């Protein structure tokens, strides 16, 4: 019997209606700037689509030329609701969204199941939006892929980088780190803070702290891996909620960054 993780934030972070969701994503992708890249890894924001969807679309647009090549997505995002030590796998066979089901990659799970920093937690994944909101974009851009979803909690960048090394693969494997940047700063302050954070990422300098990016640990782990595999990061888009759909009083920062060889 197939076990399913149902969508938790459909109708909140993005439309619950499949047709409306498809149209929204296609419009976001159509409006997004084009970049001629072949990314191995992406950093993508995870707010509601009205806030960060345009920035996310800039990242996912880079996958269109290589969509048929990518067969497996390693998706890492921070936990927002449940305290987790290490990295948590879900205990399901598929993730469901309004656009259909995404199968979990059993081979990839087996490849890391023995690692002490990896555990299984249904609770960590049940309400986690940082992973879920990436799936409709991936379903819209890629042709056929399996998923390894990792909720990253209290751990070190080195421990996460070790997991990435086991999963690195070749051109068939895409790594996506889900992270927003600064939270609830005034607009001008957020711009300064987020610019500094992005410069650190582009210069492959870590650690990226949690107060500068909610996915700071997985971003830092990606920096470690990028150095080892000689990947170059490139900024695709940098904005905040004040630029998209919010006030300038308390904004959240969003960046789209691609890593390629």
Tell me: the pLDDT tens digits for 3-46?
999 999 999 999 999 999 999 999 999 999 999 999 999 999 99
Mean pLDDT of the chain: 97
Residues 58-66, mean pLDDT to the nearest whole number: 97
**Helices 157-167 & 216-229 angle (0-180, nearest 10):** 50
Domain limits of the chain? Answer: 4-260
Q: Can you name the residues that pair with 77 across neighbouring β-strands?
A: 151
pLDDT tens digits along 220-257: 999 999 999 999 999 999 999 999 998 999 999 999 99
What's the pLDDT at 151? 98
Beta-sheet pairing, 183-185 with 251-260:
antiparallel
Token pair belonging to 138? 């991936």
pLDDT tens digits along 151-195: 999 999 999 999 999 999 999 999 999 999 999 999 999 999 999
Question: What phi, psi does 3 have (nearest 5°)?
Answer: -100, 140
Among candidate residues 47, 128, 130, 121, the one with its CA nearest the CA of residue 81: 128
What's the pLDDT at 126? 96
Sign of CA dihedral 71, 76, 80, 82: positive
Backbone dihedral region for residue 58 (phi beyond 0: left; psi -120 to 50: alpha; all else: beta): alpha
pLDDT band for position 70 (cuts 50, 70, 90): very high
How many other C-beta atoms are found inside a 10 Å radius of the C-beta of residue 80?
13
Fold topology of 4-260: Protocatechuate 4,5-dioxygenase; Chain B (3.40.830)
pLDDT tens digits along 111-144: 999 999 999 999 999 999 999 999 999 999 999 9
CB 170 within 8 A of CB 116: no
């Amino acid at each position: 019997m197939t076990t399913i993780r149902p969508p938790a934030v459909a109708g909140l972070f993005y439309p619950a209606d499949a047709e409306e969701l498809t149209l929204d994503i296609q419009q976001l992708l159509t409006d997004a700037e084009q970049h001629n890249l072949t990314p191995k890894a992406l950093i993508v924001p995870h707010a509601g689509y009205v806030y960060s969807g345009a920035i996310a679309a800039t990242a996912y647009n880079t996958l269109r030329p290589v969509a048929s090549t990518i067969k497996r997505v390693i998706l890492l995002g921070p936990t927002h609701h449940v305290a987790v030590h290490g990295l948590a796998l879900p205990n399901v066979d598929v993730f469901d969204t309004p656009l259909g089901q995404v199968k979990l990659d059993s081979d990839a799970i087996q490849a890391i199941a023995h690692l002490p920093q990896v555990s299984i937690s249904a609770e960590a994944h049940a309400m986690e939006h940082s992973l879920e909101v990436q799936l409709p974009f991936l379903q819209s851009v890629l042709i056929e892929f399996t998923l390894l979803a990792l909720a990253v909690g209290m751990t070190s960048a080195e421990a996460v980088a070790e997991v990435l090394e086991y999963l690195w693969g070749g051109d068939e494997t895409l790594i996506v780190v889900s992270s927003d940047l600064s939270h609830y700063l005034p607009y001008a302050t957020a711009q300064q803070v987020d610019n500094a954070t992005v410069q650190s990422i582009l210069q492959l300098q870590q650690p990226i702290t949690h107060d500068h990016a909610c996915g700071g640990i997985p971003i830092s782990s990606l920096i470690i891996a990028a150095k080892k595999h000689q990947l170059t990061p490139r900024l695709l888009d940098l904005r905040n909620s004040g630029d998209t759909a919010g006030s300038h009083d308390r904004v959240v920062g969003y960046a789209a960054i691609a890593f390629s060889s």
